[in-house]
Structures are given as C-alpha cells and as structure tokens.
C-alpha cells in the first residue's frame, strides 16, 4: 500500500522578482522512483535545494512523512531522512573515500567528546559500526571504491567514480528519500546503463524512495515509475514516461514552439 512520503503543496520561490518555482504541487509515494525532467533553468535544482533546506520557499509547504520541513536547516532535513547528491559533484576532496562516507553518518551517530576521549566501549562499537556500514555502502558499487581505494583521497577518483562516491555518501546518511541530481551526467553510455541498474537496486535492495533529476531520457525511461516535467518553475506534465514524453507542451518546452503558434 503506497503512502505519501513527500507532499509538496503550492510551493513558490522568487529570487528578486524572478519566479524560480511557481505554485508547484507534487507528491512522492513510498517506494516510488520519480524522474524530474525539464529544460535548463526550469527550476529543478532549486526544487532540490528547497527540499533539502538550502533555500527557503517564499510560500507553500513541504510535508515529509506528514511533517512540514519549512524552516529546517539542511542538517535537520537530513536528520529527518532526506539525502541528496549535487549536480556539480561536491565531495570532500581531501578526505579519503572511506572518510567521505563515514562523515555522512554523523547525524545517525551520537558519540561525543567523552566517548572519544576515554575510548569507551560504546565509542569503539560505534566507530566499528560506522566503518562497517561505510564499507557496505561502498561495496554496493562493486570493487571500484573499496580495497586500496578506501584510504585514497577523493580527489584522485575519476569523474564517474566521483559520482558514485557522491551517491554512496548520500546513501550512508540512511535516508528514506534519496534526491539524485543528474546521477549519470558526464558518464559514457555503458556506465550510465550500469548506474541505471544500480538505481533500481537502490529501491529494491536498500528500500529508498528516489527522486531523480535527469537529462538522459533513456535512464528516466528505464527506472522511473512516474515523470514530472518542470518548465519556468511550473509543472508542465505528470504521469508515466510515455504520457509525459508525448505531451505536446513538454515537446514544446524542449523543442520550441512551432512557428504558426507563436502569435
């Protein structure tokens, strides 16, 4: 039985008179994979920033599992169970791969100064758990991010692996809802096909609900249960991939208006 995990009601935001999002209504059910598409500048990333608490909406409400997220700091949003990746990969480049994933378990752990100072059994146990969980998460991507790589700084990774590490880092916060911002951007077809499969597994094996911004229509088609198309801060269409991709307004937004209609 599906249940609304994320419910967005009349969400608007303006930056100095510019409507980045206008009256957005949108919901995600538990266990769904929703693809968000739309041309550049449609407000997709702003939409993510708003859910994750980095931008405060001008009006409207965001309900996560029935509770409003408005006014929460990004870390509190993550604490509630929403995690995200960034469009322009933003790893902690000088921390090791293992540390990148360990540090994002911060809000799920609680040992403080005393535990660290006296190396209490609880502290040791928690550290071991953090490490085990990190390795488990990294193991999700095969052998790429584990083994000798664990102790290497994130900056030596290839572009595709950096994207994978970003996803791993977001997974490690143990979210219920995962926001992926262009997860396959810059990957070659083979890599993106592989990652598409992994995104499916994120739901089936890890139980995440996923909202994904993506330009690669193959990926969107393959994994999304539902697709939302945004343009100029407004929802153009919602529904299955086929419905949305055949929607005349969507085609218009991507390809432009036919000449005779422009009057």
Give the interface with other proteins as residue ranges (CB under 8 A): 45, 49, 52-56, 71-76, 78-79, 83-84, 86, 88, 90, 92-95, 99, 102-104, 106-109, 111-113, 115-117, 119, 123, 126-127, 130, 140-144, 151-153, 155-161, 169-170, 173, 190-191, 194, 198, 201
Minimum distance, C-beta of residue 207 to other proteins, in the bound complex (Å): 17
Minimum distance, C-beta of residue 96 to other proteins, in the bound complex (Å): 9
Minimum distance, C-beta of residue 98 to other proteins, in the bound complex (Å): 10
Minimum distance, C-beta of residue 61 to other proteins, in the bound complex (Å): 14
Helices 121-139, 159-172: crossing angle, 10 deg rounding? 140
Distance between CA atoms of 182 and 212, rounded to whole angstroms?
Answer: 7
Cβ–Cβ under 8 Å, residues 85 and 183: yes
Which residue, 123 or 254, has its beta carbon nearer to other proteins?
123
Which residue, 104 or 245, has its beta carbon nearer to other proteins?
104
Minimum distance, C-beta of residue 256 to other proteins, in the bound complex (Å): 28
* Number of residues written out for the chain: 263
Which residue, 99 or 252, has its beta carbon nearer to other proteins?
99
Name the DSSP class of 250. Answer: H
Closest by CA position to 207, among listed 250, 165, 175 = 175
Which residue, 131 or 221, has its beta carbon nearer to other proteins?
131
Spell out the residues 6+ positions from residue 76 whose beta carbon is closer than 8 angstroms to its own: 53
H-helix or E-strand containing 221?
helix 217-223
Minimum distance, C-beta of residue 50 to other proteins, in the bound complex (Å): 10
Q: Which residues of 82-101 are buried (b: 16+ CB within 10 A; e: fewer)?
A: bbbbbeebebbeeeebbbbb
Which residue, 166 or 244, has its beta carbon nearer to other proteins?
166
Cβ–Cβ under 8 Å, residues 78 and 175: yes
Minimum distance, C-beta of residue 248 to other proteins, in the bound complex (Å): 33
Which residue, 211 or 236, has its beta carbon nearer to other proteins?
211
Rounded to a whole number of angstroms, the distance between the first and last alpha carbons of the chain is: 47
Would you call 19 exposed, middle or buried from its count of C-beta atoms within 10 A (0-12, 13-18, 19+)? middle
Which residue, 157 or 177, has its beta carbon nearer to other proteins?
157
Report the half-sphere exposure of 98 (CA within 13 A, side-chain side): 15
Minimum distance, C-beta of residue 116 to other proteins, in the bound complex (Å): 4
Which residue, 2 or 56, has its beta carbon nearer to other proteins?
56
Cβ–Cβ under 8 Å, residues 59 and 252: no
């Amino acid at each position: 039985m599906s249940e609304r995990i994320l419910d967005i009601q009349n969400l608007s935001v303006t930056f100095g008179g510019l409507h980045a999002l206008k009256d957005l209504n949108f919901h995600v059910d538990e266990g769904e994979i929703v693809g968000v598409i739309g041309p550049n500048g449609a407000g997709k990333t702003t939409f993510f920033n708003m859910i994750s608490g980095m931008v405060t909406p001008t009006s409207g409400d965001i309900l996560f599992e029935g509770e409003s997220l408005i006014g929460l700091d990004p870390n509190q949003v993550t604490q509630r169970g929403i995690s995200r990746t960034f469009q322009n990969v933003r790893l902690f480049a000088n921390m090791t791969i293992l540390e990148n994933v360990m540090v994002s378990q911060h809000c799920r752990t609680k040992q403080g100064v005393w535990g660290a100072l006296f190396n209490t059994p609880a502290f040791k146990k928690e550290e071991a758990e953090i490490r085990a969980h990190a390795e488990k998460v990294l193991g999700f991507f095969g052998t790429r991010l584990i083994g000798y790589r664990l102790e290497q700084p994130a900056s030596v990774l290839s572009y595709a692996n950096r994207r994978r590490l970003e996803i791993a880092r977001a997974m490690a916060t143990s979210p219920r809802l995962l926001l992926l911002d262009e997860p396959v951007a810059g990957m070659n077809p083979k890599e993106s096909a592989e990652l598409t499969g992994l995104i499916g597994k994120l739901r089936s094996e890890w139980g995440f609900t996923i909202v994904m911004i993506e330009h690669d229509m193959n990926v969107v088609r393959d994994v999304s249960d539902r697709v939302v198309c945004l343009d100029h801060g407004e929802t153009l269409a919602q529904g299955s991939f086929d419905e949305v991709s055949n929607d005349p307004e969507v085609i218009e937004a991507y390809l432009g208006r036919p000449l005779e209609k422009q009057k």
